[in-house]
Amino acid sequence: FEDFLVVGDLLNDVYSALKVGCHAVLVDRYGRYDNVDEIEKKITVISNLKNLPELLHV
């Protein structure tokens, strides 16, 4: 599953993706997760989907 990327706006969904070995991106549109330490830097946090292509280098 390490070739998969899960993008979501709920921390629980994104964290579950990590549990099964996927890469994960949390879309934090409203700044709710400002104090989250990106789950030990395993979850990348972006503010909106416009930032996703830059993250993916496309």
* 5-53 per-position pLDDT tens digit: 899 999 888 889 988 988 889 999 988 877 666 555 678 889 999 999 9
Alpha carbon distances (Å) from 48 to 3, 20, 25, 45: 22, 24, 11, 9
Q: Alpha carbon of 32 to those of 3, 26, 47, 58: distances in Å?
A: 28, 11, 10, 27
pLDDT at residue number 40: 56
pLDDT value, residue 15: 87
pLDDT score of 3: 83
Q: How many domains does the chain have?
A: 1
Better pLDDT: 2 or 20:
20
User: Residue 30: which domain range?
Assistant: 5-56
